[in-house]
Structure 1
Amino acid sequence: MFSTIGATLSAWTGSVANAIIACVNRIVSPRVVRLVEADDGGFAVQATGNVDILPSRIAYADGALTAPNLAALFRGRRVEIILQPKRFLFRPLELPARAADFIEGIVRAQIDRLTPWSAAEAVFGCTAPVAGGSDTISTMIAATTRKVATTYTQAVAAFHPSAVAVCTGVEGQANPVKVFEQSARGHLDAARLSRVLQLVLGVVAVVAVLAIGVSAYVGSSLGAQEDELARQISTRRAAIRAGGDGGDRSPVAALERRKYETPASVIVLETLSRLLPDHTYVTELHLAGNKLQISGITTDAPSLIPLIEQSQHFTRATFYAPTTRAPSDPGERFHIEARVEPKNNMGNAVGNTVAP
């Protein structure tokens, strides 16, 4: 399966590369240098565009071209080598009219019958088809060996042209017939461009797979966070609804209970000011929960315990430190500790006391 996919991909990228090169060649046509073979084996030179130094003749011997400034003449140009017809074998071919679009494939399949060479050994070209009747067309095939064609193309390829084509003239045809063409391995070489396309496709595929993986991971993570937020929102809404219902376990009810069960320091101080006699002065007061500690100066410290115990606001009154008297003090210094009753009882009591 992988080999089939690889072959299909290679064929597709090769087709795309050839199409790109064909489009570029149409847009930017390379300058053409035409070498026309003479009877002595040398070549006359014909060139399009501006050529600084154009040799009048190029000698050819032992598979090599000889002339001054050949590198400047051929570099980057398309070279067409027009060989004499004596180097080719010509065969007329008559085909059905509907085979006009498949002439090259038909000739390639029958080349061993039309010529003395096999398909691997021969190179060929065909003239434009000519209608021979209502249902037939005819063409002329020019063929030679691949060795002959490559001998000339290799001689020119050493000078780095953009492409080299081997052609020949056919009697009755104004334009020569191309039998072989070789593209130089430049920036737009089909094989190299095909490999680049395959590399680009591979990189795009890897990036696409990574993007899909990252997208799935991020989507899963965001989905989990969204679910967690929805759960927290539902929990908070349920707690708010439970608090609004006024149940015993709701936050509002708990806050209400704490309000009435925790004594307020202002109310405690108001109650003490009403209980203690005028000769008693409180210098320190500490309230921690339901535990009250007071310190101060009085003329009769033991009488304070009964006064505090008799009140319904305090219980368990006792001295938590010895009573002392300094020479400079106007009375006895006392330290009394008592338990404070809950606020609701104290509030009612204070309200009854203050009402008159």
Structure 2
Amino acid sequence: MTALRERLGVQSLRAGGFFAWWGRSLAAWLPRSWRAALGLDRGRLLLGVDGDSLQLRLQDGDGLHDIGRMPLPTELEVEGGDVLAAVLSPALAELPRWLLLPAGACLRRRLVLPAAAAERLRDVVGFEIDRQTPFAAEDAAYDARLLSRRDGDGQLDVELVVVPRAALDAQCNALGAQARLLAGADVAGANGEPLGVNLLPPATRFAPSDPWRAWNLALAGVAVLALAAALWQMLDNRRVAADAFAVVTGRQVEAARKVSVQRQRLVDLVQGQAFLDRSRSGRATTVEVLDELSRRLPDDTYLEKFALEGDRMTLIGLSSEASALVGRLEGSKLWRAPAFTGALVPDPRTKRDRFTLVAVLVDTGPDAGDADGGDDANRR
């Protein structure tokens, strides 16, 4: 953090100090005319009391410029009036006004402070006034400026600038009502250039209204509205895209559902056909069953009904040898367990017995044949 502060060259890395430094650094890349037009480098108006006259100077990016002298306004101004605004151009009259004290009016002391003092430099040097100057803290107007930072230990070389409060009050009283418009009080150096300190207490510094405040508020409002509109438009676009996606997804889901139903139907058909094929491949065909019956039934027997339902064979008919039919049908490889389902009923018209006989069709595969053979042997 200390190295970063040294690179930045600022006293504080708090949000306000950083953005102020950042703004000044960006503004330094602009031409002076642009900075003046944007109000970034307007400079300041320096007021110096010299006897009975008031010396006016302009300090901007090009240095110091003498504007002129005028009598002290204490006897010329109207109560509450602004004499400088009447005699200066509007561009100069709107500049921040600073009282410039002569070089001999202040006492300067060099101090070495720890790097942490940079956060509250003015407050820290306030505790050094009693030790470094012959003045008490309440009887002096003071400020401090950072001279350099030491590379080895990061300590600060600071200059304490102190002016007796009585001397500062005398200068302010000489200005009369103009003193209430002062934004600060600086001290001239040995070369006449201001040191860059502000000896006025923060509570008495005049803060002129920002001419760009209304524009800034208006632009901030426009920016907020534009951001809200952009966010609303983005949300609306996302909502429309979501609706379109839902429609497309719904169509795809419906198509997938239809395909799934058709696929399931096809699977059921294939499985059913495979089951029928397996069932048919393990049992005798109808022709084989009829052929086997025609060879086993007597010639005087004829059928009124022949039915195959699953693995059940049903025979209904008339025969002169009905009681012997079960014995004739036993031992077949195509069915097993032939039996009458009811009593034999004589038919007076044909002189034969009516019968109803059932049997169970068996699997004609090799394994089933062995099993059936074993069953037949057991039955015998």
Q: TM above 0.5, one fold?
A: no
Structure 1 length normalisation: TM-score? 0.42
TM-score of the two chains, using structure 2 as the length reference: 0.40
Higher relative contact order (CA closer than 8 Å, sequence separation 6+): 1
